[in-house]
Amino acid sequence: MLRARISSRWIVGLVPLSAAVVLLGARTTKPGRATAPSRADTSSAQLIARGRYQVLSHGCGGCHGGLDDPSAHGWLAGVETDDQVFEVGACTPLHPDTKPCLKTYPRNLTPDNETGLGRFTERQIFNALRYGLRPEETPDVEITSTTPGQGNFPMHPRYLAPPMPWTDWRHMDDSELWAIAAYLKRAVKPVHNRVPESEGPPDFWASAYTKLAGPYPAKPFPTENERALDSSGSDK
């Protein structure tokens, strides 16, 4: 089943929070200023269409509901059945008797007020995708640093639960993340579905993500693992 395949892929990557999951960037990097696209950049319809394309092509529905079909029941409405729940850590089926085994629940991404994203701003959703910060714990402010306590980056960051791959998706352009936020807030119908809170370490994954931090933004091309092209565009 598709969901099982996705689950095992991410869980293998997360046990035991190995470097397979690229984690929060070097503290010294300075991300670009994140501001909402102006109306001149794109029309609202184009913005929504881009957001929908990003949501579909990044498989959001694979975990958050509806798989790849926006017309499916439960599209982005969060966990509705047990087979949508993730088990993170050393637990079944690989190590049934070991601890900890943490259950995480893909949340309701529809704009329902009490159970979804309805009360979070597009900027809070942007900050969640770019910095992995839980929107409910992070003020509606522009963040200009990844150093705790600086540039509105929280002193005690609370991160989204695995396997949400924000560490990968934060590398998307600002405009793409804003488009996703716009699609989720403006173009999806609210579904009232109360998803259980995800389990996790008491620091909300902060120590895990801090230890395994990769640089953000990514180091400039080419790194030692990459080959530069010569001026003609061919391999050296």
Partner 1 sequence: MPPGSTYVYTFRIPAGYAGTYWYHPHPDARSSYQVTKGLFGAMLVRARDDPLAALGIPDKVLILSDNRFDAHGAISFPDSESLQAEVDLENGREGNVLMVNGQVMPTIQIPPGGMQRWRIIDASASRVYRLSVPGAQLIHVGSDGGLFAHALPVHDVTVANSERVEVLVQGGSTPGERMQLVDLPYDRYMPQTRPANWDSTRSLLSLVVSHAPAAPPIRVPTLLRDVPPLDTTHVAEHRVLVMSQGLIDGKKMDANRVDLHGRLGTTEIWEIQNVVGMDHPFHLHGFRFQVLDRDGVPEPFPSWKDVVNVPGHSSVRIVVHFDDFPGKWMYHCHILDHEDEGMMGILELK
200 contributes a contact to partner 1 by CB under 8 A: yes
Measured CA to CA, the distance from residue 211 to residue 208 in angstroms comes to 5
Distance, in Å, from the CA atom of 211 to the CA atom of 219, rounded to the nearest integer, reads: 18
- The CA distance from 89 to 98, in Å, is 9
Q: Which amino acid is at 39?
A: R
Q: Which member of 119, 186, 189, 211 binds partner 1 (CB under 8 A)? A: 119
231 token code pair: 């001026």
How far, in Å, CA of 151 to CA of 142, rounded? 8
Residue choice 135, 183, 185, 216 for contact with partner 1 (CB under 8 A) = 135
Helix (H, G, I), strand (E, B) or coil at 7: helix
Given the complex with partner 1, which of 62 and 200 has the nearer CB atom? Answer: 200
- The answer to whether 196 contacts partner 1 (rule: CB under 8 A) is yes
Tell me: does residue 214 bind partner 1 (CB under 8 A). no
Q: How far is the CB of 126 from partner 1 (least distance, A)?
A: 13
66 binds partner 1 (CB under 8 A): no
Q: Write out the DSSP string of 25-71.
A: PPTT--PPP--PPPTTT--HHHHHHHHHHHHHHTTHHHHHSSTT-TT
115 binds partner 1 (CB under 8 A): yes
Decide: 72 and 61 in contact? Cβ < 8 Å. yes
The verdict on 217 binding partner 1 (CB under 8 A) reads: no
Q: Tell me if 142 contacts partner 1 by CB under 8 A.
A: no
C-alpha dist (Å) from residue 106 to 7, 49, 177: 11, 23, 19
Question: Could you say whether residue 168 binds partner 1 (CB under 8 A)?
Answer: no
| Piece of the chain touching partner 1 by CB under 8 A; list 51-59, 72-80, 173-181, 197-205 | 197-205
In the complex with partner 1, the residue whose CB is nearer, 83 or 140, is: 140
Any contact of residue 148 with partner 1 (CB under 8 A)?
Answer: no
144 binds partner 1 (CB under 8 A): no
41 binds partner 1 (CB under 8 A): no
In the complex, least distance from residue 14 CB atom to partner 1, rounded to whole angstroms: 16
Among 41, 69, 114, 168, binds partner 1 (CB under 8 A): 114
Q: What's the angle, vertex CA 173, arms to CA 145 and CA 220, rounded to 5?
A: 70
Residue in 202, 225, 231, 232 binding partner 1, rule: CB under 8 A: 202
Taking the C-alpha atoms of residue 92 and residue 102, their distance in angstroms, rounded to an integer, is 11
Residues that bind partner 1 in the complex, under the rule CB under 8 A? 113-115, 118-121, 124, 134-137, 139-140, 156, 158, 194, 196-204
